């Protein structure tokens, strides 16, 4: 069974709930009303949340052909020492639950289909993901529409969703203009960025650094390089990742000012210690102690 335009139409309303799925226009209106009412705080939160999702979020589609079960889950995972940021997200969105595992990780999970349908889908419809996870979201969204369509048999739903999971027709959606807001950048860097100190053994000194490594999404990395005014070039390393890294003082001075009083997670503690340590530039012993502290605080 192939994917039809009718099945993947974003306004194809499932019949098993009494409420109507909001159209793209209605979603924009809804979130715009929140922005108008609350100023920029909610707008910034949504952009920040999308950036964090682009970094560490996951749209999971699981189909069990033996039991005929379909599970759709939004998940954002963090080290358990950063669990407070997950509680912050849950409080702001008002849905989902948080679970910690024995491996030292905590997960913000949204599985309830009504919550996915009424909160997650409209949010990411309006505040678009910037990385290749945009494709994951499109597949997730259309799989949810199929799941909620009570005119389809369970067998047909599974067949359609399997086709969506394996389809590459969504990849063409990545060829679009990427506009990065500051709130999105903050969220993404909280998930993926690194503020660090590194020792230069040749002349026994310690310098500041900022780094960002991505497996895909070179276009996003290039845009971040431009916005953050980083002079270093993007490199492809032997581990199969794009790497953007700088120890240039002028680069780091701009980055330090850019992220001042912006972060919400444990990464903010790392950033503040890193930023304050600029006043100790050239003091080897002092910076070595701070470097050890930063290493212990990694999230």
Give the pLDDT confidence score for residue 11 in this predicted structure.
36
Give the pLDDT confidence score for residue 25 in this predicted structure.
43
Contacts of 104 (CB under 8 A, 6+ apart): 79, 80, 81
Of 8 and 289, more confident: 289
220 closest CA partner among 194, 254, 184, 183:
184
Say whether pLDDT at 30 is over 70.
Answer: no
Of 174 and 140, more confident: 140
Give the pLDDT confidence score for residue 172 in this predicted structure.
79
Residues 152-200 pLDDT 10s: 999 999 999 999 999 988 887 777 778 899 999 999 999 999 999 999 8
Residues 73-119 pLDDT 10s: 999 999 999 999 999 999 999 999 999 999 999 999 999 999 999 99
Q: Considering only 28-42, 55-69, 150-164, which range has the smallest mean pLDDT?
A: 28-42
Of 35 and 297, more confident: 297
Q: How confident is the model at residue 201 (pLDDT cuts 50, 70, 90)?
A: confident
Residue 136 in tokens? 């994951």
Give the pLDDT confidence score for residue 86 in this predicted structure.
98
Q: DSSP states of 204-236 as a string?
A: TEEEEEEEEEESS-HHHHHHHHHHTT--SPPEE
Whole-number Å distance between alpha carbons of 215 and 282:
34
Looking at the chain, the whole-number percentage of residues with pLDDT higher than 90 is 76
Give the pLDDT confidence score for residue 200 in this predicted structure.
86
Q: Distance between terminal CA atoms of the chain?
A: 44
**Full set of structural domains in the chain with CATH:** 18-174 (3.10.28.10), 182-296 (3.10.28.10)
Give the pLDDT confidence score for residue 8 in this predicted structure.
30
Give the mean pLDDT of the chain. Answer: 87
Query: In which order are the strands placed within the sheet that holds 57-64?
Result: 57-64, 69-79, 105-110, 97-100
Say whether pLDDT at 50 is over 70.
Answer: yes
**Residue 281 CA from chain centroid, whole number:** 33
Looking at the chain, the whole-number percentage of residues with pLDDT higher than 70 is 86
Give the pLDDT confidence score for residue 177 in this predicted structure.
76
Say whether pLDDT at 36 is over 90.
Answer: no
Give the pLDDT confidence score for residue 39 in this predicted structure.
33
Q: How confident is the model at residue 299 (pLDDT cuts 50, 70, 90)?
A: low
């Amino acid at each position: 069974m192939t994917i039809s335009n009718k099945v993947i139409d974003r306004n194809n309303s499932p019949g098993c709930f009494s409420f109507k799925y909001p159209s793209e226009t209605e979603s924009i209106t809804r979130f715009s009303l929140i922005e108008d009412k609350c100023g920029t705080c909610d707008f910034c939160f949504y952009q920040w949340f999308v950036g964090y999702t682009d970094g560490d979020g996951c749209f999971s589609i699981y189909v069990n052909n033996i039991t005929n079960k379909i599970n759709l889950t939004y998940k954002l995972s963090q080290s358990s020492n950063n669990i407070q940021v997950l509680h912050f997200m849950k409080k702001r969105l008002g849905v989902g639950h948080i679970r910690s595992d024995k491996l030292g990780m905590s997960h913000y999970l949204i599985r309830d289909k009504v919550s996915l349908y009424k909160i997650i889908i409209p949010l990411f419809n309006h505040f678009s993901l910037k990385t290749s996870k945009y494709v994951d979201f499109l597949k997730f969204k259309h799989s949810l529409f199929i799941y909620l369509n009570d005119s389809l048999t369970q067998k047909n739903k599974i067949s359609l969703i399997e086709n969506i999971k394996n389809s590459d027709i969504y990849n063409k959606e990545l060829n679009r203009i990427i506009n990065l807001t500051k709130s999105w950048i903050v969220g993404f860097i909280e998930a993926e960025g690194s503020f660090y100190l590194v020792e230069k053994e040749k002349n026994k000194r310690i310098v500041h650094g900022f780094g960002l490594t991505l497996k895909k999404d070179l276009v996003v990395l290039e845009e971040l390089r431009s916005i953050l005014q980083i002079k270093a070039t993007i490199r492809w390393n032997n581990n199969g990742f794009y790497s953007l890294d700088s120890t240039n003082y002028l680069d780091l001075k701009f980055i330090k000012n850019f992220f001042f009083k912006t972060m919400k997670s444990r990464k903010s503690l790392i950033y503040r210690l890193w930023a304050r340590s600029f006043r100790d530039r050239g003091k080897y012993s002092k910076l070595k102690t701070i470097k050890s502290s930063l290493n212990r605080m990694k999230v």
